[in-house]
Amino acid sequence: MRFLKLFVMAAAILLTGHALAADKYIEGKHYKLLPTPLPVALEPGKKVVVWEFFSYTCPHCYNLEPALQQWIPTLADDVQYEPVATPFSHWIPMVKSYYAAELLGVADTTHEDVFNAIFVNKAPARTVEDYANIYAKLGVDKDKFLKTAESFGVNTKLKQAEMLTKGAGIMGTPSMVVAGKYLVTGETAGSNVGMIDVVNFLIEKERSES
């Protein structure tokens, strides 16, 4: 009888633990469910996509970047992580420049360096020409960069970024969206760094429901 009582108590504690884990982050408080899920394009072998909406001229994004650089390598192989250069009207040159770097295959390797150029070295970052100068110092051919920034491919990515930003109701950066349907902001998570833990929770939630 005593063993049975202990077993029941252990089971109750275990179930309570699971319940607490499930309720660790609450919809409408720590994250928002988008009214209409956004279409996602998953690469082979991927199950969950995470979009990070950012701007190179956003100081909050700059301050969050070190934490992201530590976190991203820890993501499971089935997670597809995609930065989204956020096309608010005054950020269009930045968006074109980021996607030019992406098409040239240097976006990942220069990401932190561009932030540092702007916030540490105080490089101008208002026009595509300004960004071309930043990337040139990072070893990217300036003429090729400028041509790519005005290409059809970049304009297509700009339109896609506009669609995602509008569809997710992005009001500021940094913001993150998981699986095309869960929006996390620094405000909902309690801090910008806190978004990472909420996103981890939502990744597991999406896995368990798929």
pLDDT 10s digits, 17-39? 333 345 689 999 999 999 999 99
Tokens of 109: 């390797």
103-106, Cβ contacts within 8 angstroms, sequence gap of 24 or more: 103/148, 103/151, 103/153, 103/154, 103/157, 104/140, 104/144, 104/145, 104/148, 106/135, 106/138, 106/140
Q: What's the confidence (pLDDT) of residue 209?
A: 86
Write down the pLDDT at residue 19.
38
> Cα angle vertex 126, ends 123, 89, to 5°?
145
Give the CB-side neighbour count of residue 105, counting CA atoms within 13 A: 0
What average pLDDT is seen over the chain? 90
User: CA 74, CA 134: separation in Å to the nearest integer?
Assistant: 29
Place of tokens 């005005």: 150
Q: What is the pLDDT of residues 100-155, one digit of tens each?
A: 999 999 999 999 999 999 999 999 999 999 999 999 999 999 999 999 999 999 99
Residue 175 has pLDDT above 60, yes or no: yes
pLDDT of residue 22: 54
Q: What is the CATH number of domain 30-209?
A: 3.40.30.10
- Smallest CA-to-CA distance from 203 within 174, 171, 170, 181 is with 181
Convert the pLDDT of each residue in 75-100 to its tens digit.
Answer: 999 999 999 999 998 999 999 999 99
Residue 210: pLDDT band (50, 70, 90) is: confident
**Amino acid at site 136:** A
Tokens in use for 110?
């220069």
Q: Where are the domains of the chain?
A: 30-209
Global confidence as pTM: 0.88
Q: Which residues contact 189 (CB under 8 A, 6 or more apart)?
A: 30, 31, 195, 197, 198
Residue 165 has pLDDT above 50, yes or no: yes
- Helix (H) / strand (E) containing 34: none
CA 200 – CA 55 distance, rounded (Å): 22
